[in-house]
Amino acid sequence: MEKAILSGNEAIARGAFEAGVKVASAYPGTPSTEILENIIQYKGIDASWAPNEKVALEVGIGACFGGARSLVTMKHVGVNVAADPLFTLTYTGVRGGLVLVTADDPEMHSSQNEQDNRNYAKFAKIPMFEPSDSQEALTYTRLAFEVSEKFDTPVFLRTTTRISHSKSIVELGEPVSETPEIGLVKDPPKFVMLPGNARRRHPIIEQRLLDMEEWASDQPFNRMEEGSKDVGVITAGVSYQYAKEVLPDASILKLGMVYPLPKRLIREFAARFKTLYVIEELDPFLEEQLLAMGIQVKGKELFPICGELTPGRVKKGLTGKEAEVAFQHDEALPNRPPNMCPGCPHRGVFLALNRLKAFVSGDIGCYTLGFMPPLSAMDTCVCMGASIGNATGLCKALSPEDRKKVVAVIGDSTFLHTGVNGLIDMVYNQSQGTVIILDNRITGMTGRQENPSSGYTLMGEPAPEVNLEQLCLSIGVRHVKVVDPYDLELTRATIREEMERPEPSIIITRRPCMLMKRDVVKRKPPLVVDIHKCTACKACLKLGCPAIIWDDSAGEKGKAHVDPLICVGCGVCEQVCKFGAFGVSDDK
Amino acid sequence: MTNKVTNILLVGVGGQGTLLASEVLSEVLMMAGYDVKKAEVHGMAQRGGSVVSHVRFGEKVYSEIIPEGEADILFGFELLESYRYLPLLRKEGRAIVNDLKILPPAVALGQESYPKDIPEKIMRAFPKSNVVQGLALALKSGNARTVNTVLLGALSNSLDIKEDMWKEAIRKLVPERFVNENLQAFELGRTA
C-alpha cells in the first residue's frame, strides 16, 4: 500500500478523487483553500473557483442533480453565505452524491469569528462526519459520498484548522469503479421545491434522520476503545487526539459522525461509567444532546468554550493544573504581527485615507491589515462583502457633513463575492459614499487564487475578465475613476475629490499584487537612504513598510535605512520624503 | 508499553522557509519508519508574521500539536522567535537556533527594542543548545536562501537518522535546480 504524508486538505482532495467526484466548486477561504488547489492534479474532475460559496454550492447541486458526484468546499463563515440553497437541498436530496466541506477555524487563526458549524448539521438536518486525522479525512470523504447516495441526502464533512493544515501518514487507495450514471432525469416532485412538493418532502427528511441514527449505532466509524472501567470519554474530531494524549488509559467512544448521534450506542457506552467526560472544542454540541438524552456528563464546566483545545487545556480541565514550564520570560517581547508586503499596492491608499481622516468601512482580505498601525485606517470590518452595505447604512444615518467622511474599501475578489450587491443597493437607493475597489488582480489573502476579474481559471486556463469599470457603470454609478496607487499624490487627490461628491462614486486602485504567481511583477532596484539628507523626521515610517528600518545607531536621532534584501523598489517612500533622502543607488 | 514521542517545534518568520524545512523533516521521519504528525498555522497574509510548525514522531502519535512545555527540540530560524517560544521547551530540552535578527515592525519603527543577548540567555537556560551561523554557512553554499537547509543539517546531528535518508528527502522536496546547493548546505550544516 502506498503511503504519503498528507494534510487533511490534501487527503480530502485525494478522497474525492478516489470517490469518483466529477465536479468540484469553492470560494477560497482559510483553512479550506488547499482542497481545490490539490484536486486539480487529478484528471477528470472539473474544478473551479466560484465568485462566492452560495454559487459554489448551486453549481454542486446542479451537478449532483445530473448524477455526478460533486464536492463543494468552504470555510465556516462561507456556509453562512451558502445557507440558503443548503436548507432546501436537504429537502430535494441528491442523485449523485454531494459532500459539503465546512472547514472551521477554532482560535480564529485567520477568521473573524469562531462559529461551530456542527450546529448547521442539526439546523439543516444534514448528517455530518468529522475526521480526526488525515487518514480519516480521506476515508470519510469516500464514505460521505456513499452515505449521500444511500440516504439521498447532502452530507457535511467538517474539519477544523488542526485537521485541515496538519499532516499525518495516509494510505492511498484505488478509485471506486462504480459511480452513478450521468444524465437528465425529470423528477419534479423531488427537485421542484414549491410548497406542495416541499410539504411532502419534510416528513421524508425527518424519517431519514431517524433511520440514520439507528444505522449509525452499528457503523465502524463510531467506535468504542476499551480502557479504564471508571472513566469514559465521548469525543470526536481533533479533540479525540487530545483525549488520547492526556488520558491514554480511558475508555473512549469516538464518534466519526457527529450528527445524527448513534443514540443506542451512546446509551450502551454511558451506562458503564461512573464518570463520563465529553471532550469537544467550541460549543457543547454533543454535551447538550447527551444531556437531553438524560445522560449525566462533564464537559464545558471543565473545558473552554472559546478557542482551540490543546493537550494542555484538556489536562487543565481534568486536573485543574497548568502545564509546568522550565523557562519563563522576565521581559516583555515585541509582537510580530503580519504586515502588508514591501511594495504592496494597498499601502499608499491607506496612507491617503489616514491623512484624509476618512471613516473607513472595511472588508475581508489582505487589506484588512490596513487596520494595523501605523496606517490605522480601517474603522469597521464585518464579513465578506459588507463594506459597501455598511457604508450605505452609515450614510443613511449620518449628517451630510459626516457622510462625506465615509469611504468603503473592498478588494476585487471580495467585490465580486458579495460586494457588488451592496453597490447595486447603494446606487438604487440613492445613498452616497465613496467606494474604493482595491484591484490587485488576484485573491490575495488566501494565497493568490484566480477570480472572475483576474483573467484565469483555477486550472490555469485563460478566461474572460470582468471589466470592473463597465460593471460599475452598468449598475448606474456615474463616477468611476481608475488610479495607480503607487502615485500617492494622484491617489490622495482623487479620494479627496470623490469624498466631496454627494452621490456614489467608485475609485479603482489598480496594481498587481507583489506576490503574483504568474506574470511575476518585476522588482526594481532597491532604494537607498542618503543619510546626509535624512533629517530623522520619520515620515517614511508612517508607511509601515517592512523594508524601512529605523537605524538608532546612525546620527544623533537615528536615520532611516532600507533593507535591500526585501525592498522591491516601488518608490512610495521616495514620495513621502520631503527631503529627497530616498533614491536609487548608483552601485550595482 | 512505552510510547516515547519526540517533539520538535520549528519557529521563524514568514518567508524564511520554515515550512519547507518542516516538510523535509517530516518526510525523513516517515522514511525512517516513524509515525509522524505535523501541524502549522498559515493562510493569512503571514508574510513577516510569526510562523510555528509542530513536528512529532514516535511509534504512535496522537495530538498533532506539542503539549505545552514538552518540546524536546526548539528549532529556531530567527533569534527573537526562538526566544519567544522557549517556554515550550522541556527542562532537559535543547534549542538549535539560527543567529539572525529580523526586526518586527514596532522595533523597526524604533518604538520597542529587540531583546538583548538572546544567544546567551538561551545557552544559560538550556545548556545543550546550539547557536548556528546559518547565513554565513549558506553563503558558502552559494545561495543565501539555503539557510533553512543549513539549519536542517545542524538539526540532523541530534536525530538518529542516516545522512543518506536526509539527502533523499531533500532531493524529493526541493525544486530540482536548487538540489545541489541545498545538499551542500545540508553538509555545511552538519559541521555547525
- pLDDT tens per residue across span A63-91: 999 999 999 999 999 999 999 999 999 99
The alpha carbon of residue B184 is apart from the nearest alpha carbon of chain A, in Å, by 23
Q: Please give the pLDDT value at position B7.
A: 98
* Integer CA distances (angstroms), B39 to A92, B57, B178, in order: 39, 12, 26
The alpha carbon of residue A538 is apart from the nearest alpha carbon of chain B, in Å, by 9
Enumerate the β-bridge partners of residue A462.
Answer: A456
Q: A369 and B104: CB-CB below 8 Å? A: no
B1 near A CB under 8 A: no
Which B residues in the span 56-95 are in contact with A, Cβ-Cβ below 8 Å? Answer: 61-65, 67-70, 80-81, 83-84, 86-91, 93
The alpha carbon of residue A403 is apart from the nearest alpha carbon of chain B, in Å, by 32
Question: By mean pLDDT, which of A6-20, A374-388, B107-121 is the weakest?
Answer: B107-121
ipTM: 0.94
**What is the rounded average pLDDT of the residues A273-297?**
98
Task: Express as a percent the part of chain A with pLDDT over 90.
Answer: 92
Q: B45 and A366: CB-CB below 8 Å? A: yes
Q: Please give the pLDDT value at position A519.
A: 67
User: Which of A578, A567, A518, A450 minimizes the C-alpha distance to A37?
Assistant: A450
Q: How many CB pairs under 8 A join A and B?
A: 164
Q: A166 and B39: CB-CB below 8 Å? A: yes
Facing residue for A369 by CB, picked from B45, B83, B106: B45
Residue B1 has pLDDT above 50, yes or no: no
Q: B13 and A244: CB-CB below 8 Å? A: no
Enumerate the β-bridge partners of residue A411.
Answer: A438
Q: B113 and A133: CB-CB below 8 Å? A: no
- Model pLDDT for residues A235-283, shown as the tens digit of each residue: 999 999 999 999 999 999 999 999 999 999 999 999 999 999 999 999 9
DSSP 8-class letter at B92: E
Tell me what the pLDDT averaged over chain A comes to: 96
Chain B residues within 8 A of A5 when measuring between CB atoms: 26-27, 30, 36, 38
Residue type, A410: I
B28, closest residue in chain A (CA to CA): A5
B43 near A CB under 8 A: yes
Q: Are B147 and B181 in contact (CB under 8 A)?
A: no
Residue A16 has pLDDT above 50, yes or no: yes
Q: B110 and A109: CB-CB below 8 Å? A: no
Task: Provide the grid cell at A407.
Answer: 469611504
A539, closest residue in chain B (CA to CA): B109
B2, closest residue in chain A (CA to CA): A248
| Sign of the alpha-carbon torsion through B97, B100, B106, B110 | positive
Q: Are A444 and A515 in contact (CB under 8 A)?
A: yes
User: Which of A298, A420, A433 minimizes the C-alpha distance to A359?
Assistant: A433
Q: Please give the pLDDT value at position A588.
A: 46
B31 near A CB under 8 A: no
Chain A residues within 8 A of B37 when measuring between CB atoms: 133, 166-168
Q: B39 and A446: CB-CB below 8 Å? A: no
- Measured at the CA of B116, the angle between CA A534 and CA A538, to 5 degrees, comes to 20
A162, closest residue in chain B (CA to CA): B39
Q: Please give the pLDDT value at position A76.
A: 98
Tell the burial category of A357 from Cβ atoms under 10 Å away from its Cβ (0-12, 13-18, 19+).
exposed
Q: Please give the pLDDT value at position B43.
A: 46
B145, closest residue in chain A (CA to CA): A565
The alpha carbon of residue B35 is apart from the nearest alpha carbon of chain A, in Å, by 7
**What is the rounded average pLDDT of the residues A388-396?**
97
Q: Are strands A548-551 and A559-562 parallel, antiparallel or unpaired?
A: antiparallel
**What is the rounded average pLDDT of the residues A95-124?**
97
Facing residue for A326 by CB, picked from B62, B91, B107: B91
Q: Are A558 and B110 in contact (CB under 8 A)?
A: yes
Residue B45 has pLDDT above 50, yes or no: no
The predicted model scores a pTM of 0.96
* Greater model confidence, A442 or B3: A442
Residue B44 has pLDDT above 60, yes or no: no
Helix (H, G, I), strand (E, B) or coil at B109: coil
Residue A363 has pLDDT above 80, yes or no: yes
The alpha carbon of residue B49 is apart from the nearest alpha carbon of chain A, in Å, by 4
Chain B residues within 8 A of A161 when measuring between CB atoms: 41
- Model pLDDT for residues A316-325, shown as the tens digit of each residue: 999 999 888 8
Q: Please give the pLDDT value at position A521.
A: 77
- Model pLDDT for residues B72-106, shown as the tens digit of each residue: 999 999 999 999 999 999 999 999 999 999 888 88
Report residue A98's pLDDT band, with 50, 70 and 90 as the boundaries.
very high
> Residue for cell digits 522541556?
B90
Distance CA B126, CA B130 (A): 9
Report residue A449's pLDDT band, with 50, 70 and 90 as the boundaries.
very high
**What is the rounded average pLDDT of the residues B59-75?**
96
DSSP 8-class letter at B67: P
**What is the rounded average pLDDT of the residues A437-442?**
97
Q: Please give the pLDDT value at position B155.
A: 97
Residue A379 has pLDDT above 60, yes or no: yes
Q: Are B129 and B79 in contact (CB under 8 A)?
A: no
Q: Please give the pLDDT value at position A338.
A: 84
Facing residue for A331 by CB, picked from B47, B104, B115: B115
User: Which of B105, B102, B184, B115 minimizes the C-alpha distance to B143?
Assistant: B184
* Integer CA distances (angstroms), A324 to A181, A272, B73, in order: 59, 34, 17
**What is the rounded average pLDDT of the residues B126-154?**
93
Chain B residues within 8 A of A541 when measuring between CB atoms: 108-110
**What is the rounded average pLDDT of the residues A492-518?**
93
Q: Please give the pLDDT value at position B2.
A: 54
Facing residue for B104 by CB, picked from A110, A325, A336: A336
Residue A408 has pLDDT above 70, yes or no: yes
Q: Please give the pLDDT value at position B46.
A: 56
Q: Please give the pLDDT value at position A586.
A: 67
The alpha carbon of residue B2 is apart from the nearest alpha carbon of chain A, in Å, by 12
Other Cβ atoms closer than 10 A to A373:
14
Report residue A145's pLDDT band, with 50, 70 and 90 as the boundaries.
very high
